[in-house]
Structure 1
């Protein structure tokens, strides 16, 4: 079973393409013979992890791909690492604003994605989908969920997981304002490509995709 997650709208937006893309990718993968389910997460510290934990318990997935929106980014961002830090620049949807708080008290400083992000990068670029490896998932609810996911999966060594950020959808930006967006069908395809790459790859590729700053 494949579990995909996306988020509800936040920060004053009326839509969140991560949820629409997760739902669409789950339908696409299921039609291809890969059983998949999508779950929407609240953009709320703590509560998001409770919903994720319930989904993990209910579905017992072999692979988990969580997605979130990173407005302003131009590409599909394959997140490399989650850090044990909640530091909110804006309130979550319940008004919480944690500052320098651990996601998990006593947990390790960070977890790496266990998905083959370099193989996924190559597959995305080959499909003509703009993509990159990202070295930071931020310190908001997306990183909170990414870290919480990997912390939960430490007890399920047979299950791989990771996180992807998607750009704004075209409906979220004004034409000509210079803010990047990506059509929803491309985001949907991108999540499906990442899942297919993970299913087909046991050892990740060696591709240069680092950062100088």
Structure 2
């Protein structure tokens, strides 16, 4: 750690949550994402990290693909409009697992849509490829972010959090797979985190958790190398 060379380029984290869906009348991720900018303005972000867009997605698969990709592309367009080498983009997607008792950092998504109930646009696929040109329904895509390290940092901060290799086969997995595929095509990074209901872990604790997740970006030591050694000051 020295003073030589230019300051490292910032990381911009864009965040999404979901609206209500079958069985979940109030999605905690909608509340978290809606309030996140104001919450982080009060807490403050570490140097080298910026909070970008905060978007709420329809809890739908096929019918929401176009707006999802528009949302993902908007971050690329915004980044390209800034100065050259203006930093890297990470997408953080938040979804709810109504049966969970702790947070889950999702390591991967599967190229399979098998919805247990119709999504909010009435679609209920069974064993359908999410991206047909990307392989069979057994194809998986993993995040290039350090899931184990992220989980370890957050556990040390006192949160009930685990790593997971199964994001389900519903809309969360659907969005994550598209995001991971998009990330590979466009040089961004993607991470999905499942949260419990507010009745299991209260709203304030969940807001603190997401804030800690963002703040912990500076402690993801391997990110520096994976993001071409220009993202965070290690």
What TM-score bracket applies, with the shorter chain setting the length? 0.7 to 0.9
Matches within 5 A, 1:45-64: 45-60=61-76, 62-64=89-91
In structure 2, how many angstroms separate the alpha carbons of the residues matched to 1:97 and 1:67?
21
The Cα shift of 1:135 comes to 1.5
Q: How does 1:104-115 map to 2 (within 5 A)?
A: 104-108=131-135, 109-115=139-145
Q: Deviations over 1:89-133 (max 9, x none)?
A: 111111111000011002141111222222221222122111000
User: Quick one: which of 22, 44, 62 aligns to 2:60?
Assistant: 44
List alignment gaps of at least 5 residues for structure 2. Answer: 1-11, 80-88, 224-234
Residue 189 (1) aligns with residue 208 (2): yes
RMSD: 1.8
The answer for the alignment partner of 2:5 in structure 1 is: none
User: Which among 142, 159, 167 is matched to residue 172 of structure 2?
Assistant: 142
Secondary structure of 1:78's match? strand
CA distance in 2, matches of 1:107, 1:161: 17
Select 2:128's aligned residue among 85, 101, 106: 101
TM-score, structure 2 as length reference: 0.76
Superposed displacement of residue 58, structure 1: 1.9
Partner of 1:178: none
1:128 to 158, 161, 173: 158
Number of matched residues? 193
The 8 Å contact of residues 116 and 197 in structure 1, kept in 2 or not, is answered as no
State the Cα distance separating 1:191 from its structure 2 match.
Answer: 2.0
Mapped contact 1:4–1:23 kept (Cα < 8 A):
no
In the TM superposition, what is the alpha-carbon distance from 1:47 to its structure 2 partner? 3.2
Q: Whose helix fraction is larger, Structure 1's or Structure 2's? A: 2
1:208 is aligned to none
Q: Are the aligned partners of 1:167 and 1:182 in contact in 2 as well (CA < 8 Å)?
A: yes
Contact 1:89–1:97 (CA<8 Å) still a contact in 2? yes
Partners in 2 of 1:120 and 1:188 — Cα distance?
Answer: 17
Conservation of the 8 A alpha-carbon contact between 1:44 and 1:93 = yes
